[in-house]
Amino acid sequence: MFALLLTASPAFSTELVWQGYYRGRALLYDSLSLSEDNANEEGTSNSMDHRLLLRPSWMISDHAAIHAEVDVMKLTLWGDTPDQYVDPVTGETLSVAQADGVSSVTPGTGIRGWGEAYTDWGRIAIGRMPMQWGSGILWNNGNGIDAEYGDTADRVQVSGRIGPVFVMGAFDVQSEGLVGAADDMQAISFAAGYRSETLGVGLLSNYRYRPEKPDPWQAYTGSLWGFAELGQVRAELEAVGVFGGGNLDGGQDDVTVTALGIMVKGDYQADKLSFGGEFGVASGDDDPSDKAITTFSFDRDHNVGLLLFEEAMPTLESASVSDENGGRTTDAARSGDAISNAIYFRPAVRYKLLPTVEIEGAWIIAARADSTGETEADQGYGNEFDVSAKWDPHPHVWFQLTLAAFLPGPLYTEYTDPDLGGGFDTTAFGGRIVGAVEF
pLDDT tens sequence across 63-94: 999 999 999 888 888 877 777 777 777 777 76
* Side chain identity, residue 141: N
More confident residue, 4 or 397: 397
Is the per-residue pLDDT at 39 higher than 50? Answer: yes
Other CB atoms within 10 A of residue 319 CB: 11
Q: What angle do CA 362, 368, 372 make, to 5 degrees?
A: 160
Sort strands 255-269 and 292-293 into parallel, antiparallel or unpaired. Answer: parallel
Between CA 259 and CA 421 the distance in angstroms is 32
Total of domains in the chain: 1
What spatial distance separates the first Cα and last Cα of the chain, rounded to whole Å? Answer: 28
Q: Within 13 A of 366's CA, how many CA atoms are on the CB side?
A: 32
Confidence of residue 5 (pLDDT cuts 50, 70, 90): very low
Between CA 404 and CA 305 the distance in angstroms is 8
Give the pLDDT of residue 4: 47
Sort strands 328-329 and 316-317 into parallel, antiparallel or unpaired. Answer: antiparallel
On average, the pLDDT of the chain sits at 89
Q: What are phi and psi of 191, to 5 degrees?
A: -140, 145
Task: Work out the percent of the chain whose per-residue pLDDT is above 70.
Answer: 89
Between CA 260 and CA 307 the distance in angstroms is 24
Q: How far is CA 278 from the centre of its chain?
A: 17
Give the pLDDT of residue 400: 98
Confidence of residue 335 (pLDDT cuts 50, 70, 90): very high
* Side chain identity, residue 23: R
3-state helix/strand/coil string of 140-179: CCCCCCCCCCCCEEEEEEEEEEECCEEEEEEEEEEECCCC
> What average pLDDT does the segment 348-364 reach?
96
Between CA 344 and CA 377 the distance in angstroms is 16
User: Please, are residues 85 and 71 in contact by the beta-carbon 8 Å criterion?
Assistant: no
Sign of the C-alpha dihedral, residues 334, 339, 345, 348?
Answer: positive
Sort strands 357-367 and 380-394 into parallel, antiparallel or unpaired. Answer: antiparallel
Sign of the C-alpha dihedral, residues 85, 87, 92, 96?
Answer: negative
Q: Is 315 helix (H, G, I), strand (E, B) or coil?
A: coil
Is the per-residue pLDDT at 1 higher than 50? Answer: no
Is the per-residue pLDDT at 330 higher than 60? Answer: yes
Give me the torsion for CA of 288, 291, 296, 301, rounded to 10°.
80
Other CB atoms within 10 A of residue 13 CB: 6
CATH code of 430's domain: 2.40.160.10
Q: Which residue range is the domain that position 23 belongs to?
A: 2-438
User: 43: Cβ–Cβ under 8 A, 6 or more apart, which residues?
Assistant: 30, 31, 33
Give the pLDDT of residue 6: 47
Whether the upstream peptide bond of residue 288 has omega within 30° of 0, thus cis, is: no
Between CA 247 and CA 233 the distance in angstroms is 46
User: Please, are residues 46 and 30 in contact by the beta-carbon 8 Å criterion?
Assistant: no
Per-residue pLDDT tens for 172-227?
A: 988 776 676 666 788 999 999 999 999 999 999 999 998 776 678 899 999 999 99
Q: Is 7 helix (H, G, I), strand (E, B) or coil?
A: helix
Give the pLDDT of residue 227: 97
> What average pLDDT does the segment 367-382 reach?
77
* Side chain identity, residue 191: A
Closest CA to 344 of 320, 373, 367, 318: 367
Beta strands (DSSP E) in 249-371 are 255-269, 273-282, 292-293, 316-317, 328-329, 342-354, 357-367
Between CA 126 and CA 116 the distance in angstroms is 7
Closest CA to 268 of 236, 233, 228, 237: 233
